[in-house]
Structure 1
Amino acid sequence: MHRTPPNPAGPHRHPRRARRAGGPRDFDWDLGPGRGRPGPRGPRRGRKGGDVRAAALLLLDEAPAHGYHLIQQIAARSEGAWSPSPGSIYPVLQQLEDEGFIDFERVDGRKTATLTDAGKAYVEEHRETLGEPWDPEQLRRGGDAESGALITSVKTLNAATRQVMTVGSLAQQAKAAEIVNEARRQLYGLLADDDA
């Protein structure tokens, strides 16, 4: 049965119900935490939590780390309120490498990430926006942390869009419009899928 995407002016489902989808590599899409749903004994390990991208950047600004160490650090700093799954950490690290923000090297047999100069500059410039994604009080309030992650992603998308509008050629601006329109269609598709 065909479903009509929701009217932007009408009511929306809560962001927690929407499953994230991947976006264009050139934008700062938050790949986000896992998709596990709460069970009879509480949320599964892959449950939604905070902003994985922000957490990884902030921790790597302190010291190089491999993926498992990042998971441990996030769990410790959130006082157990958030323990992201490997399936949420490693795609984010790959994205950060694609953006030129981290490099990988083998340390004691582990693939360890280190912030590049560009990554350090990004963290310094956006430290206030990155915030404290492992704040246990915010995480325990539920949807607030996820809303914050989505807001951060929207802000970075807006910044990238403004940059293209300012310095991009007409062809680049036209391509950017196609990318944004496709992202909009995917977002509505998430809500339609969740209603199925």
Structure 2
Amino acid sequence: MGRRHGWGHHGPPGPEFLFGFGGGRPPFGKFPFGPPPPKAKRGDVRTAILVLLAEGPRNGYQIIQEVEERSGGAWKPSPGAVYPALQQLADEGLILGDEADGRKTFSLTEAGRSYVAANPQTAPWADQEDTGGDWPGGDIAAVFKEAAQLGTALVQVVQAGSPEQVAEARKLVTATRKRLYGILAGDDEEEDA
């Protein structure tokens, strides 16, 4: 299949060729399309849990999904961060877990409600709104995520596509690159060239 495109017995180039890291390390370590997005601050998982449970009972999965949704997809805490934080809050007597239908649902205890009332919690995703969507990652992280997915799609077209499909992909990538530079230049219309 690779010979059809003239790549010899090794097949088509991989993403390291397509994106210019020449087989060496990507310019940002394991983040080839830019620096890693900022991480959530210490205590953000705990704060997020308290904010959400102040609204009503939730299980761990619902907490993870709600944080991801409210942060616009910029932050999805891992189960390895959420469940230990839930256990710590339970050990402190601030939350209680009730098992129902095979799921453990957590809610604030009376002590937890008093704690939240005495120590108002600012939702970590509110930082994202205050900084124009750049916490943690926001639009910047979303652009790099899309670029990574674009790279995967390009590799698939190059590996499995017909010569006509590869040529069409090349034209699309060229037009997209020009349009991106047009955005930087403040042009409203795509340039012809």
For normalisation by structure 2, the TM-score amounts to 0.48
Q: Radius of gyration: which is bigger?
A: 2
Bigger RCO (CA 8 Å, 6+ sep): 1
